[in-house]
Structure 1
Amino acid sequence: MDGDRRGWLQCLLSGAVFAVCMAGTTLPTPLYPLYQEKFGFSELTVTVVYAVYAFAVIAVLLLAGNVSDAVGRRPVLLWGLGFAAASAICFLCATGLGWLYVGRLFSGLSAGLFTGAATVYVMELAPEGGASRATFVATAANMGGLGCGPLLAGVLAEYAAWPLYLPFVVHLALATGSAALLLWWLPETVRERRPLSTVRPQRPGVPPQVRKAFVPAAIASFAGFALFGVFTSVSPAFLAQFLDVDNHAVSGLVVALAFFSSTAGQLAVGRVGLERSLPLGCAGLLAGLALLAGALHWDLLSLVVLSAIVGGVGQGLAFRGALSAVAQASPADRRASVISTLFVVAYAGISVPVIGVGLLTSPIGLEGAGLVFIACMAVLVSTAGVYLLRRPVRTTT
């Protein structure tokens, strides 16, 4: 096997490991109504359980986002798989709400370790000159894995036995079996490794030369991940309460469509170009938010589906453009930490607005809370669009 073919094989296999880990983080999504029925908690509690995951991701990115630059990618990713397995075990043992919090905490630790390190690892394993395609593999593995989680759990919960157990058994087998073996076989890409004792927690921030690209990338990432956060945390409740959709497979599919559409949007970047992907992605996010507003106002499943697809495509366009712009502007020895900082902003988008929706649900209802969320995100996306019109971000392929 020549060097390029071997490099692309390793790139794809590392992407598969990335996808397996991320799938575990969204497995509980279509199962939340079952947990609510079993343990008797409110919609606000659902958003808090979901946000525990995001806060754990942010903590790891801040405290250890640059660890893989020092100790190597593979050791960090193996720890990430270990936390993914621990999360699955917590859900398998769940006898009360506390287990869900701990399970989501471990899931967040897993995703936090994987997010920056795996993204850079996939890109570094690709052959020279393949940066653009490797970025697509990394972001597609991330979003594709996130989409597979609710789809797998929804189908198993609806059509197989043990709906609160079987999805986590399957993921535990994947994380401790095939993914761990693949990661053990793949090579290390960090040539000059340093002891863990030399690593210091990083502050949020980016080098001066990266800031022009980082600002619009961060705004678009925040809004796109916030849209996904709302879909992932409260859409099953909305479908059940207002549209009488109690099929777990359908709930999982709606959420999965958003993530799969993101992957399609990332693939479309090759046609529209990296420079245009960020502004076009912002336009797609605005359209997706408008469709979601219509779905909330008129209680239409078709608009929920269209919102997931259109908003997902917009998020994919914007996120791949954002990741490419930031990665290309970053110095090689700071790349993982800068990408981790971008993900800190993105996961803040998943957590803070979602909790806000949960808090507003009691006084103004789920529909009203959703409309407030949409208005806020529309302002943010419009701000990023105006910034990009005034200061376009230049990228290379």
Structure 2
Amino acid sequence: MKGQKTHPPRTVSSAAMYGSAWLVTAVFILSNSPTPLYVYWQNRLGFSTGTLTLIFAFYIAGLLGTLFIAGQLSDRFGRRRVLIPGLVSALLACILFAGSGSVASLAIARLLTGIAVGVMVSAGMAAVGDFADNGRRRQAALLASVSMVLGAGLGPLLAGSVAQISSQPAHPVFIIGFIVLSSALWVALRLPYPTPPAKQIQRMPLRLPRIPRENRPHLTCGILAFGPSITATSFVLSLGPSLLSRLLHIQNPIIAGGIACAMFLTATGIQFALRHWNVRRIFFASAGATILAMVCLIAAVQYSVAWLLILAALFAGAGQGLGQLGGLTLIGLHVPDNRRAEASAVMNIGGYIPAGLLPVAAGFLIDSLGLASGATLFALVVIVAATAGGIFISGLLRKDSATPDTHSSAVTPENS
């Protein structure tokens, strides 16, 4: 049949699925490893909260710029040709982080990290699905999503633990990261990625990523859920340690890393716990968790209560995990194989634009209005976005009532 892909034997495809997932995990370990070290770098280099969020914005800029082309290149020329440069960018970022002595070096390292993450959330996650037959599409979507949030949680836990026992934590943290990423590069060079048909390898003018018209409701739902939720987790990653230090007078790096880790472990666990829910319920739960996260954040900064900040991080993780799972599930079930990486790129572009802009705005608001006022304004904006997203998702899924898995979780063998 035209467009149908040939799968390797099931045992080979299962190993390849998990191997591809390891690439995603390894890069996301790097992506959030700097989180517990921001206060260390702030004290050492003397930059403001606004500058801190700008450094984080370089990560978002690299990610978004990569998403515009990585999915298209991966779908047309094959996963390997895109994944290898992405892993090399991550290795270079490790080297820069380990020797960081200026704001500029941190910004460049974050830019390279964003490029690597952009490759993984488009080509890397699509590669996990490449080795799944029709009966394992939801399993592949879950594995891709969990591999991302698991790595995102392990990174800050590693960095916080090392920073607790070392006065110069950057060197050992990123040496470990370099070793982990080297193993991922070794795996990527050996995985049996499918080769695109010769007619698919053609000269490609650069263009905005796009998806088939019939899949636009699916991607819109994913963006509306994923955008507010990942904006909430981005705030915790970029400004969480500063909140702990300035508002709650907690400067322990392992606590900052542990909160970020717990946030993403919550995202991982809730995906497993609710994986049999239908997509509509998953999206609504994502919106509800994100709203609760922001309510807890407002209460934490207004009343200086540490446990409320921790609760905000956990709810934010749950919101991101569910929003991401719902979006990837719709992509895996409905988007054609040769457009899946591009579709994943579209969903992540829609999510990461607010995740980059709003925390930066919050950082400068905090500098000008104070910590409590700036964080509260940020939280109110996210609450409005999550509420509006839930309402629009309800309307889109009602119109798209023919969409499999929208109203029933009994779609694939894994759901029965």
Q: Which TM bucket (shorter chain)? A: over 0.9
Match of 1:314 in 2: 319
Moved over 3 A (4+): 193-197, 393-397
Match of 1:245 in 2: 250
Match of 1:375 in 2: 380
Match of 1:182 in 2: 187
2:144 is aligned with 1:109: no
In 1, Cα distance between the equivalents of 2:327 and 2:99? 39
Look up the SS of the partner of 2:274 in the other structure.
Answer: helix
After superposition, the C-alpha distances for 1:11-57 in whole angstroms (9 at most, x for unaligned) are 11211121001111111111011111111110100000001010111
Contact conserved, 1:69 with 1:190, CA < 8 A, in 2? no
In 2, Cα distance between the equivalents of 1:71 and 1:53? 25
Match of 1:9 in 2: 15
Aligned residues: 395
Contact conserved, 1:254 with 1:308, CA < 8 A, in 2? yes
Q: 1:324 to 1:239 in 2, by over 3 A?
A: same
Match of 2:408 in 1: none
Measured after TM superposition, the shift of residue 146 of structure 1 is 1.1
Measured after TM superposition, the shift of residue 144 of structure 1 is 1.0
In 1, Cα distance between the equivalents of 2:322 and 2:279? 9
TM-score, L = length of structure 1:
0.95
Match of 2:302 in 1: 297
Match of 1:18 in 2: 24
2:287 is aligned with 1:282: yes
Give the share of equivalent positions with the same residue, in percent.
24
In 2, Cα distance between the equivalents of 1:191 and 1:245? 52
After superposition, the C-alpha distances for 1:182-231 in whole angstroms (9 at most, x for unaligned) are 11221112332579771332314432211222223212111011001100
Q: Which runs of 5+ in 1 are unaligned?
A: none
After superposition, the C-alpha distances for 1:241-275 in whole angstroms (9 at most, x for unaligned) are 11121110110011111111111222123232333
Measured after TM superposition, the shift of residue 291 of structure 1 is 1.4
In 2, Cα distance between the equivalents of 1:99 and 1:116? 26
Contact conserved, 1:67 with 1:196, CA < 8 A, in 2? no
Measured after TM superposition, the shift of residue 311 of structure 1 is 2.3
In 2, Cα distance between the equivalents of 1:148 and 1:126? 26
Q: 1:316 to 1:332 in 2, by over 3 A?
A: same
Q: 1:136 to 1:48 in 2, by over 3 A?
A: same
After superposition, the C-alpha distances for 1:164-191 in whole angstroms (9 at most, x for unaligned) are 2110010011112x21121122111233
Contact conserved, 2:93 with 2:109, CA < 8 A, in 1? yes
Match of 2:5 in 1: none
2:195 is aligned with 1:208: no
Measured after TM superposition, the shift of residue 160 of structure 1 is 3.8
Match of 2:68 in 1: 62
After superposition, the C-alpha distances for 1:258-308 in whole angstroms (9 at most, x for unaligned) are 111111222123232333211121111111221122111111111111112
Match of 2:266 in 1: 261
Say which is worse superposed, 52-61 or 66-75, in terms of deviation: 66-75
Look up the SS of the partner of 1:199 in the other structure.
Answer: coil
2:148 is aligned with 1:139: no
In 2, Cα distance between the equivalents of 1:124 and 1:269? 24
In 1, Cα distance between the equivalents of 2:393 and 2:355? 23
TM-score, L = length of structure 2:
0.90
